[in-house]
Structure 1
């Protein structure tokens, strides 16, 4: 059986990761129409539906999840092979410095582990990491690239959406037991709703769950790490993204009492000065980060 064009798999992986055709078109430097055509052609060639519309987002079907897992793995394998070849021939005078700014927050643990992989695979780039609590405080005299959480920056900066975050409730397993165990939506009224914003994200989720008319006790923290730690310790229920909380979910410190997820009010972005785009080390890091998230 002949394979569909390999480029169509890259387009599919990009849309699957970002959940949005326009965002994928921006990343791939093509039009939204071109992305749509590639997706239609791939689905027609394979004879299965890979993505379906859910609100403003595109979400994977069961078949799409299977294909995305293998395509993403193949892209990482190719990238790793290229890095091995490049590292085998790199000379000390060819090593380029690159300074990355990231928020000093618990929510970036998913990124920290990936950065060590980047360092191992790209010996021709010397990565330095600094931290700032918000995008507005990034020192662009030092930083070449920044990973930020919030909204896209203004003029003078290039940005890429890293992945479309969808928020879902997470809590300690102990909240699924006892007299006040969370078994259905109404049980949330017995527990604190933890958040780091003004409660807008919880209001969006409760509205989608059709239980926003109830009264809920909530606790505000100005640090997302404290929100998740409170959830881990059993003091309430938080909203988080599967990627951000992957380690806690895998290790059983957190569980997801409900499957409903809603788009986040903010997202993670990779940002750099317009003038920095085109530098090989900057472009390589951006491409690597986009394919690893």
Structure 2
């Protein structure tokens, strides 16, 4: 059986990861129409539906999830093989140095894992990682590339969506037991909703879940790490991302009482100047961070 065009798999992986045709088109530097046509061609060739519309997002079908897993793995393997070949023939004077700024916030183990993998497979690039409290305080005189959390930066910077966050409630396992156990969305009325904003994100989730809105008089934490620590200690329910909270979920310190997830108001972005992006080593790191599947 002949394979569909290989480029259509790359297009599919981008849409599957970003959940949006326009975002994938920006990433691939093509038109949204070209992306849609590639998806139609791939689905027609395979004879299965891979993505379905859910609100403003495109979500994977069961078949789509199977294909996405293997395609993302294949892309990473190819990228790793290319990096190994380059590293094997690297000369001392060909080593490139990069300084990457990352947010000094909780929940970046997913990013740390990707960075170590990148350094293992790209010996020709020496990476220095620094932390800054926010995008506005990044010193671009010593920073080549930044991972920023929030909204896309204003004009003057090139940016690319790195990790599109979808949020779902998380809490301590102890909140699943007792008279006020979380079994239905209405049970949230008996528990404190922990948040790091003015309550907009919780309102968005409750609206999608058909739950009842409420006043947000509880203390709000500016540090997301404090939100998750409070959730782990049983003081309430937080909204978090499966990737950011992967370790706590795997270890059982946090559980997901409900399955519904909604797009976050803020996301992670790779940011740099237009001139810096033209450097091959910068582009390599951007592609790695954006394309490497979550651990």
Structure 1 residues without counterparts, runs of 5 or longer:
none
Report the alpha carbon displacement of residue 213 of structure 1 after superposing the two structures with TM. Answer: 3.7
- 1:15 aligns with 15
Number of matched pairs: 293
Q: Which runs of 5+ in 2 are unaligned?
A: none
Residue matched to 1:86: 86
* Residue aligning to 1:183: 183
Q: CA offsets per residue over residues 47-77 of structure 1, 9 Å max, x none?
A: 0000011111111000000000000011111
Within a 5 Å distance, the mapping from 1:172-251 to structure 2 comes to: 172-214=172-214, 218-251=218-251
CA displacement 1:125-181 (0-9 Å, x = unmatched):
000001111111111111101011111111211000113211110011111112221
Equivalent runs, 1:12-91 vs 2, <5 Å: 12-91=12-91
1:216 to partner: Cα distance: 6.6
What CA distance in whole angstroms lies between the structure 2 residues aligned with 1:108 and 1:271? Answer: 17
In 2, the alpha carbon distance for the partners of 1:66 and 1:4 equals: 16
User: Displacement of 1:217 after TM fit?
Assistant: 6.2
Query: What is the rounded CA distance, in whole Å, between the counterparts of 1:176 and 1:79 in structure 2?
Result: 43
* Separation (CA, whole Å) in 2 of partners of 1:174 and 1:114: 32
SS at match of 1:219: coil
Single out whichever of 199-208 and 38-47 deviates more from structure 2.
199-208
Q: Cα distance, 1:214 vs. partner?
A: 4.7
Report the counterpart of residue 124 of structure 2 in structure 1. 124
More moved, 83-92 vs 26-35: 83-92
SS of alignment partner, residue 108 of structure 2: helix
Partner of 1:280: 280
Whether the 8 Å CA contact 1:194–1:237 is kept in 2: the answer is: yes
- Displacement of 1:207: 1.4
- Paired residues of 2:186 and 2:212 also in contact (CA < 8 A): no
- Kept in 2, the 8 Å contact 1:231–1:238? The answer is yes
Structure 2-normalised TM-score?
Answer: 0.97
TM-score by length of 1: 0.97
Residues 259-270 of structure 1: matches in 2 within 5 Å?
259-270=259-270
Deviation at 1:215, TM superposition (A): 5.5
CA distance in 2 between partners of 1:72 and 1:146 (Å): 24
1:199-221 Cα distance to aligned partner (Å, 9 max, x none): 11011111112223456763311
Q: Is 1:192–1:216's contact at 8 Å kept on the other side of the alignment?
A: no
CA contact (8 A) 1:19 1:58 kept: yes
Stretch moving more, 185-194 or 120-129:
185-194
Provide the C-alpha distance between the structure 2 equivalents of 1:95 and 1:53, rounded to a whole number of angstroms.
45
Conserved? CA contact 1:189–1:216, under 8 Å: no
Q: Is the CA contact 1:193–1:217 (under 8 Å) kept in the aligned structure 2?
A: no
Greater displacement, 32-41 / 225-234: 225-234
CA contact (8 A) 1:191 1:217 kept: no
